[in-house]
Chain A
């Protein structure tokens, strides 16, 4: 990561959904930074606001949702101040995106090749022939065998893994500075997921792009990310480099999640897993104070009263907690 230049600086982002039943604060004061060439893993369970955050960055939040506060500084400029026209030039060119379900992200009535070509022609000033050549190169780049034949195939003729590769090809078509990958491997089988992860790592290394890697799966973050941000109920609760988060989790939520996942090496099988009790609170009835306190084994009165700030608990290791976990994971 020779380059330490800031690429994306998310400052106190707030995205609310104004529904019939009340206001849902899907993203409520989220901040994180991605430097050039860096992979930030944004991890959390359903309802933590991770996907809404990514849609906010590319300004694709649909009604009744709305970005109501914060700044999204991308390459020194606030994306929230851009016009729709300017955003269209950024999306797909400077920021590429891949989503969970490649089938719904691809248009079933056009060939794979057509769709990649379109992505190229929209953002680059080159001719059709050149674009076609580049599309086939891209298909080759993402490891699709027989790219010339695949170019003329429709999405339904490709397997899930191949479709996700095609999506990646499309996202890579304009050499983006930032790739947003939202649960891109969740729908895939383990052996196919392994292929796609290797591909993403390889592309990231080769192009030096930054990646916002969004997932619910801690193990994928451990494998992919340089920096980890753990989200819970629309806020970042833990933020540090990957090693520190996994070896020395400070927030009881991260700590609990890591302990509750069944291990592949643990000697003790068929025993109770140390589960986190309770469940994510309803977005309409957020608890007072720290949103995690009803499930937290360390909660005290102050947790029930006040929302803690994201503070530095170890050198450049931040956690939003009054009673950060003191023991290392190995001890417990």
Chain B
């Protein structure tokens, strides 16, 4: 009776690919959707803002304009160098977000490749790569960072480099553990029985299956990279004045925390809300991509 289609009377529902189902579920996640909306708003503000508010964030105003309170000319007021805080907030946001994206994405790519290779090949390759991870994880970051800053100099690219160098190990471990369990799956055995080559197994069979955790980890990674940038800049080893980032704006503001607390609030709240949004989105993605739902 094999010629009769077993599915015939099944409901003719729409076909959903995995990613469309993830999107459907994600949309139902209220917190994550809130995060997404806020984040998109922040990104648009940071990009479109400077096009409307055409004030040079670096230029110091001539005259006694330091630490002005918010006014029509300077909606966020000015800082201790008589620079327009709103313009700096836009510019700083762009840099902070850019560092967050660039650092987290690069760290994830490196981590994913290391994890795939270590997990798939196992043995000596795995042992060497994982010991490197262990070693890097034991190094206290900040002292090394200070040393690195003196060698590489201070700036945006150096910060990204530092965050990447110290940020890929978690992803490597994550991907490796997923690959180790995928290796035990029967579909891997099935692929081997067909005669599929190792590279095809790694990239056609494994990679799509590690995408879900990778995306969650990148999303959360962007948030933590932004915090990391802020901490480094706060210590004075990050983005250097006169260039603005939310982090070094905070650093500048610390001496005026009592007489001009708004200088702390603007970048501080921005970092807080942005990172929180990323975390909400990450949680939402994690729930939406829960592999248990699609087996």
Contact present between A and B (CB < 8 A): yes
**A residues whose Cβ falls under 8 Å from a Cβ of B:** 20, 272, 275, 277-279, 282, 285, 287, 294
Which listed residue (A277, A279, A282, A285) contacts B4, Cβ 8 A?
Answer: A277
Q: How far is the CA of A20 from the CA of B27 in the complex (A)?
A: 13
Report the minimum CB–CB distance from A194 to chain B (whole Å): 30
Q: In the complex, given contacts A272-B1, A278-B6, what are 5 additional A-B residue pairs having Cβ atoms less than 8 angstroms apart?
A: A277-B6, A278-B9, A282-B10, A282-B11, A287-B9
Q: How far is the CA of A282 from the CA of B11 in the complex (A)?
A: 9
- B9 neighbours in A (Cβ, 8 Å): 278, 287, 294
Question: Does residue B28 face the partner (Cβ distance < 8 Å to A)?
Answer: yes
- Beta-carbon contacts of B4-36 to A below 8 Å, as 1s and 0s? 101011110000000000000000100000000
**Chain A, residue nearest B8 (CB):** A278
Which listed residue (B1, B6, B11, B28) contacts A279, Cβ 8 A?
Answer: B6
Report the minimum CB–CB distance from B71 to chain A (whole Å): 51
Q: Which parts of B246-292 form the interface with A (CB within 8 Å)?
A: none
How many pairs, one residue from A and one from B, have CB atoms within 8 Å of each other in the complex? 16
Q: How far is the CA of A294 from the CA of B10 in the complex (A)?
A: 10
- B11 neighbours in A (Cβ, 8 Å): 282, 285
- B8 neighbours in A (Cβ, 8 Å): 278
Q: How far is the CA of A287 from the CA of B9 in the complex (A)?
A: 10
Q: Which 9 A-B pairs have the closest CB atoms?
A: A285-B11, A294-B9, A278-B9, A279-B6, A278-B6, A277-B4, A275-B1, A277-B1, A282-B11
Instruction: Please tell me the number of chain B residues within 8 Å of chain A, measured between CB atoms.
Output: 8
Do the beta carbons of A20 and B28 come within 8 Å of each other? yes
Write 11 A-B pairs (CB below 8 A) sorted by A numbering. Answer: A20-B28, A277-B4, A277-B6, A278-B6, A278-B8, A278-B9, A279-B6, A282-B10, A282-B11, A285-B10, A294-B9
Q: How far is the CA of A272 from the CA of B4 in the complex (A)?
A: 14
- Beta-carbon contacts of B115-158 to A below 8 Å, as 1s and 0s? 00000000000000000000000000000000000000000000
Report the minimum CB–CB distance from B284 to chain A (whole Å): 14
Q: How far is the CA of A133 from the CA of B278 in the complex (A)?
A: 59
**Chain B, residue nearest A284 (CB):** B11
Q: How far is the CA of A278 from the CA of B7 in the complex (A)?
A: 7
- B28 neighbours in A (Cβ, 8 Å): 20
Report the minimum CB–CB distance from A32 to chain B (whole Å): 29
Q: How far is the CA of A328 from the CA of B9 in the complex (A)?
A: 30
Q: How far is the CA of A287 from the CA of B10 in the complex (A)?
A: 10
Q: How far is the CA of A278 from the CA of B10 in the complex (A)?
A: 9
- A278 neighbours in B (Cβ, 8 Å): 6, 8-9
Q: Which parts of B225-260 form the interface with A (CB within 8 Å)?
A: none
Report the minimum CB–CB distance from B28 to chain A (whole Å): 7
Q: How far is the CA of A278 from the CA of B11 in the complex (A)?
A: 13
Q: How far is the CA of A277 from the CA of B10 in the complex (A)?
A: 13
Q: How far is the CA of A275 from the CA of B28 in the complex (A)?
A: 42
Q: How far is the CA of A83 from the CA of B279 in the complex (A)?
A: 41
Q: How far is the CA of A253 from the CA of B163 in the complex (A)?
A: 64
- B4 neighbours in A (Cβ, 8 Å): 277
Q: How far is the CA of A272 from the CA of B1 in the complex (A)?
A: 8
Report the minimum CB–CB distance from B26 to chain A (whole Å): 13
- A20 neighbours in B (Cβ, 8 Å): 28
Report the minimum CB–CB distance from B259 to chain A (whole Å): 53
Q: How far is the CA of A282 from the CA of B6 in the complex (A)?
A: 13
Report the minimum CB–CB distance from A331 to chain B (whole Å): 22
- B10 neighbours in A (Cβ, 8 Å): 282, 285
Q: How far is the CA of A285 from the CA of B11 in the complex (A)?
A: 7
- A272 neighbours in B (Cβ, 8 Å): 1
Q: How far is the CA of A90 from the CA of B222 in the complex (A)?
A: 53
Q: How far is the CA of A278 from the CA of B9 in the complex (A)?
A: 8
**Chain B, residue nearest A275 (CB):** B1
Q: How far is the CA of A282 from the CA of B13 in the complex (A)?
A: 12
**Chain A, residue nearest B293 (CB):** A20
**Chain B, residue nearest A20 (CB):** B28
